[in-house]
Structure 1
């Protein structure tokens, strides 16, 4: 029997019984329409408001969703009522707060006024599928509890489901090909105060402008505190691991990061794709840093420390050292293949209290700072050449070159300058002689002739 209903596009009743004295009824049948229209069976008041909150964020871009009522029963007594139902849902082109999918199937279990359940939820998007269950407990402290597993973009899903997390998740990206296993709960009244645990495995992970290759990890969200562990990630030919926590209430967090055999040139090309391919070596290191946000548009405040090493490269090809090699005339007659440096994060700058290199012709040591808010560098470097090497001509072997140089300015246009003339000493001398050692004409800086 087809029943005319303004709430549904189609409503067909297969069986119906009613007690006209109490208002109780039971029915089985089918309908086409928005599940939100089922609210017509829910008594006005809090229960109808909760029912509306559950379904209002959904939109249906395809044909009207199909609803199958295997059993819907309503009972009313003085001061109390109940609505129990098992309803099959099949919908095409659903979306939840703008997050679209191809199809959705589920069982809607009504146990009102106490609870609403969505069981055997299956959402398809392309070849990917997500399955899960959701329970809304509406009595007392109203809460939602859920489990889900499948392939989807968890960052996009959470920014849609919990808009209050959008700012906290803005620096992260996971992509639609992420395999996710997640469970948790959240409050429905007032602040959501979510408690969620999640494991992830995907083709790439993004933090700001840094993008990894295939990765595995897990994270936990407990109200305002987010903890994560990127236990394994491919990163520019090497490996990266990251563990940390962040409190949105305090606006601060802590990160432990480690890298092993990361190709330096590949990493730099992620920021500047037009870089020429060069052999800059492999980066390994660790750091432990506390991070504090200081308001919109202001740079982060970082404190902590670490240590890094670059090996197996020709560091004269590195952007900052190339200019120094040209300045002192050593860039084409030797090789620096290893760089060791200590790291100190001091609020608004990265301080390098000491770094040192090896070198076939020239070795370097020095210290300096990078100010990330202003994107400026300031480094002082001392160099020593032809000391203990066996590859230089015999006539030059008794000599050593010494110099001090400084790197100053914006990172993309900083310049080197010599702080003193190049000097030479003979073995056994305690102090360098005051004379200068001329550079090859093609590399002679102004003021050193």
Structure 2
């Protein structure tokens, strides 16, 4: 019989057997952000549509082609967030966080939505780790945010990740650059895609970010922004390069990076890889010094980055990175009869209160199927409980890895005895690892 429903195109299920990978990444990104002084913020899944039009930019692919916009009776239009920065800045303004002293530093892990062509590492619902810093115009803040992103990538174990940086200037020097781009692209106007013809007058820098191969070929010899930077923007960029050098962070200057959102100013950067095809950017960010003013706040410098977790996980798996081991059952009670079930419930409650992962039979199987189930779920120890064990007050604790069995009393000492067995197993595993590391004398 056919399934009644399937997941929408461009979405993915995280099944229990894969969730430990997400736990690994979420733990690392959260702990690293906190080490750099960033605190978690959580924002709504949807915002007023105008927020994204004003901040992301009406000439961007995101606004023109990719947003999921919805409405309900009596409400204005809302849009599922296509990225995290705009909503975060709205939340910081609305909740007065920017009145608490600078810099303010927040991070988030959230889902985003864009109607895109589905490819490896590019979904229509995707998850993003992001960090935002508000209140510093100094290039020191730029280097700090880049260092944080690099720390995350290093700690998850990625190799062969390249940092590309660029400056797209401030509104003043960028206007001169836009004029140069208009003059360059004007002779090719009829050859540009329909979207980029419209961009030529409104925002020609967006043409540089177009995915059309024909437009990319035309843009290959276009002027570069670095030749149009004002003195302040040039000095800011030179200082950033100096600070990255002092932090021993390797980088390449790529004058073609403009990022896909209009709110960026001055520094933009990307961490890229060649291991997931065309969608090789695993992290991107930069400055957006005009965004807060655009949203109705005082002109306040700000910067940050977003890191796609699906892409990050894809690269980690390709490179064989380590993940936190999925937690397995510490003890399984195999029961025979109602008296045994009662005792198993009592001991299970005590052990769980001590932090152990304990299971017992819930589907009323026989002893042999229960033992198969215990082995299937990777139970480290098993205790078989029947009438004989309940009457005598003694049972056997079986180590499933070694097959060894030891006596254990079914009284108040049970938890302590089991804890000692677990500790002994841990030390045994540690000794084996040390032996493998240094080599054992076989004689």
TM-score, reference length from structure 2: 0.18
Report which of the two has the higher share of strand.
Answer: 1
Indicate the structure whose relative CO is greater, using CA pairs within 8 Å and at least 6 residues apart.
2
Report which of the two has the higher share of helix.
Answer: 2
Larger Rg: 1
